Amino acid sequence: MAAKLLSVACIRSGSGGGRGSLSPARPHYPSMPNYPKAAISASSDEEKCIQESETRALFSVTGMTCSACAASIEKAVKRLPGIKEAVVDILNHRAQVVFCPAFVNEEKILETIEDAGFQAELIEEEINERSTRVCRIRIQGLTCISCSMTLEYYLVAMHGVQKALVALSNEQVEVHYDPRILTHNQILEAIEDIGFEGILISNGEDIRCKIHLQVEGLQTENLITMIKNSLKALPGVQEIDFEPELGKLTIFYDPDLTGPRDFIETIQSSELGNFTAMIFPERGGRKAHREDEIKQYFRFFLWSLVFTIPVFLMSMIFMYIPRINHGLETKIINMLTTGEILRWILTTPVQFIIGRRFYIGSYKALRHGSANMDVLIALGTNAAYFYSVYSVLRAATSPSFESTDFFETSAMLISFILLGKYLEVLAKGKTSEAIEKLMDLSPETATLLTTDREGNVLKEEEIDSLLIQKNDVMKIVPGAKVPCDGIVVWGQSHVNESMITGESKPVAKVKGDVVIGGTLNANGVLHVKATKVGSESALSQIVRLVESAQMAKAPVQKFADLISKFFVPLVIVLSISTWFAWFSAGKLKGYPKSWIPSSMDSLELALQFGISVVVIACPCALGLATPTAVMVGTGVGASQGVLIKGGQALESTHKVNCIVFDKTGTLTIGKPVVVDTRIFIDTSPQEFTSLVAAAEVNSEHPLAKAIIEYAEKLRQDEAYHVWPEARDFESITGHGVKAVVQSKEVLVGNKSLMLDHNVTISQDAEEILAEVEGLAQTGILVSIDKELHGILAVSDPLKPEARQVISILKSMKVNSIIVTGDNQGTANAIAKEVGIHTVVAEAKPEKKAEKVKELQDAGNIVAMVGDGINDSPALVAADVGMAIGAGTDIAIEAADIVLMRSNLEDVITAVDLSRKTFFRIRLNYIWALGYNALGIPLAAGILFPSTGFRLPPWVAGGAMAASSISVVCSSLLLKNYKRPKVLDTLDRQGKLSE
């Protein structure tokens, strides 16, 4: 808990004793927990700086001639500290940069662009975070990567849309838009105009607490208005939406002031009328939508089988049964047979009713000038069907023409594709199981306790967990799940937090400890006071983080996007060329007539090859190669307590070859204690520490806390004590503190602080300081009235796994470096103990970022591992920022990777999981490209001249469906990921040491 309070203290002016603390403005990276107002006393200016820690700037750039120019500008800008995002639009000659003003400003960005060789000027246009909203929409009709690229292209072109991310793997789109220009309803309408159906999942306001209620009895506008006015009269109610057709009331509110039970009580009050209100039953949702889609495809497939199986039997089997064949070959009109009529009748519903979805998809794609998988399917099946119709009609009008139809090709092709889509949707549903499991962690009900002022329990009541309000006291029995984030107010137990943090060992909980919603109470009864409910809870934040991660594209996805632009047109050209080549060769007698099967002529043989080329080509496999692997990888990471923010973080992490570690709280436990005191002046330890504690009491730096705790222990015999008043308190960043106590000037800090204030350090003091630092302890010097009075030796124990983790990273060819604000001696001692050779000590926050940039300039891909506040400039500057020890407060706008446990082993897990995920992505690409590279020539008949082998169109269609399934199943193998076995050995050693 002390570590968390430290995180808040570091953003305050004058805090920290100066030993590695940051400047007053809170950096953007990473976000930290919201604490009670009493715990933070920041000024209004500082609070404003915190709220506006992320700024957008738009620049006009001239001199760009190609994409390489844009890439060089992006690279140069991203090297600056505090840059979160830099996007260069070469077509409009603009660059948009998202940055933290605490570390960089517009002038520096302008200078960097100009240093890169281009002219730039700032466009005075206010684009800040508050003018951006993000909505997430589920898309129906998204069949392949061409569809997703078309949708993305048209959405980005809309005025007011800043960014659109389409995820083919989970059929969703995330749109970043300006609410002053657009509404989410207009975006939904645009999606419908593009040719898809959109279902709103979230409208960009879900970060606010909200509740959906079903209200019965609201039949007139007057009643609706009356209810709305009554609810708005409640403190904390911000916005109310009502959907009359569903009777659904959505209320946005401040959970500190009110909650859902207050709303239900207000609605059902007898004064207003006879109304009933309850939690709105959610019939939809991700899981329900996926199940509906699976059932729909399965139903279509079964219906197609009803018609296709008889067609297949008539075309392939019955011809070998004389009696049946005789009936099928019976002539009706001229050369038209009974079998041809039956096949025509049975195939038509498959082609135009069951296969209607492919016509719709093709029309929508072609209407917007693009071509997708539906176009290929429609071309292939139409070619087979309409040629067959032509052949049948010609046979009916000719006394000599013998028809050869391909009705079985059309019907079987559609059936196989539907089977493939069914299996693909089934497999894709499993890629998002991680989120579904997280969402299922919250219990449906909770036991609410009603207590009196003395805390005595008056009543127990079981309520829906969605009705929990802040400050409610909940009873958690053994074996029950914790329904919300809260603080234990009574009882003791062990809680299994593995489902949230990945920590397998149950954590002891006593009064005052924090518990996380969704965790499992093991053996004792707990009374928990709710502190975070709804979207504020750690579980909700984790779900949002994982959802965002799964929406984000990995840079490697650009490869598939580039190929897909030309894929379908190229396949159509290859198909026509194949047909023309075989047809011309047949007419010009380029191959022996014996090659042509007896049941067809050269035109029909050429047509079969052309259709096979169309239907075997599969752009879907390419489109699914990256996002499915990223979805599974980020989901697995969440289950391991490693939250990875999407494909960008995954891709960067697998390339990491250098990791920069902070010392305090990262390599060490982060709870320093005073282990020795050396006093040079004749004074009692109590009097000496009393002056030091008085100077440090205004600081919340961990070293300051250690000194105060030590001073309190020395005065245990006193029932009540107050430290002397400290006046003129000053925090000197990176050095220490200065104050006037009992008319004496007290300096507490490092050697630099003493030298800066002309305090003489004797030879004996130098030797003691060297001795302390040689023991991996921090020596804190104390000066009173310009005279050195003593040295406090503070030790921060090394984490037990630190040495082994550094050794394992070395075996993974990852170099480790320590960059710390602590003194050189202590840093060297810690480095020697863990096996790190490169140390940068006494580094201020900006120097840490400079060291990261220096390593990057040397060609390294750098990860920074730190506590997320003092190290934030370096975390932002690094290619991958890892915030360690995030605990229960998940920072949504924080690091690239959030390690939920304060455990260094998770650094290895993050790197290893990233490498395994990208190995799987590469494997997926090899399979997808290899499939098309081998399949298209086979379908075109490359082996037919030498072996007589040809690929019938319906077999080619089955192969196409199988390719997508294989890529998804390949990604699903990541679900079997196990962290390196050596970490299990570390766990066992850790348990033995405990």
By annotation, the residues acting in catalysis are 662
Sign for the CA dihedral angle at 7, 9, 13, 18 comes to negative
Helix intervals (H) in 449-556: 498-501, 538-551
Helix intervals (H) in 168-281: 184-194, 221-232, 260-267
Report DSSP letters for 794-806, one per residue.
Answer: EE-PBPTTHHHHH
Please report, for residues 93, 169, 191, 296, 561, the alpha-carbon distance to residue 148 in angstroms, rounded to integers and kept in the order given: 26, 10, 11, 21, 9
Sheet holding 726-732, edge to edge: 673-679, 787-795, 778-784, 744-749, 736-741, 726-732
- Report the alpha-carbon distance of residue 981 to residue 73 in Å, rounded: 43
**Strand duo 248-253 + 237-243: pairing:** antiparallel
Count of positions (residues) in the chain? 994
As beta bridge partners, residue 62 has: 119
Long-range contacts of 289-296 (CB under 8 A, 24+ apart): 289/138, 289/199, 290/425, 290/429, 290/432, 293/425, 294/422, 294/425, 294/426, 294/429
Query: Which among 488, 542, 496, 551 is positioned nearest to 520, based on CA atoms?
Result: 496
Query: Which among 14, 4, 17, 8 is positioned nearest to 703, based on CA atoms?
Result: 17
Decide: helix, strand or coil at residue 199: strand
Retrieve residue 670's tokens.
């982060």
Q: Do the beta carbons of residue 567 and residue 609 sit within 8 Å?
A: no
CB contact set of 546 (below 8 Å; sequence gap of 6+):
434, 435, 438, 634, 635, 638, 643
HEC letters along 111-133: HHHHHCCCEEEEEEEEEEHHHCE
**Strand duo 880-884 + 897-899: pairing:** parallel
Q: To 5 degrees, how large is the angle CA 972–CA 974–CA 975? A: 75
CB contact set of 553 (below 8 Å; sequence gap of 6+):
165, 167, 626, 627, 646, 647, 648
Sheet holding 197-202, edge to edge: 161-167, 172-177, 133-140, 197-202
Sheet holding 838-840, edge to edge: 642-644, 897-899, 880-884, 862-866, 658-661, 815-819, 838-840
Residue type, 253: Y
- Report the alpha-carbon distance of residue 437 to residue 802 in Å, rounded: 32
Q: To 5 degrees, how large is the angle CA 50–CA 51–CA 57? A: 100
Decide: helix, strand or coil at residue 758: coil
Q: Do the beta carbons of residue 904 and residue 882 sit within 8 Å?
A: no
Retrieve residue 44's tokens.
């209004």
CB atoms within 10 A of CB 41: 8
Retrieve residue 701's tokens.
């730096």
| DSSP category for residue 316 | I
E-assigned strands of 597-722?
A: 642-644, 658-661, 673-679
Q: Do the beta carbons of residue 464 and residue 445 sit within 8 Å?
A: yes
Peptide bond into 627 cis (omega under 30): no
The CA-based dihedral angle spanning residues 921, 923, 928, 933, taken in that order and rounded to the nearest 10 degrees: 140
- Report the alpha-carbon distance of residue 856 to residue 868 in Å, rounded: 20
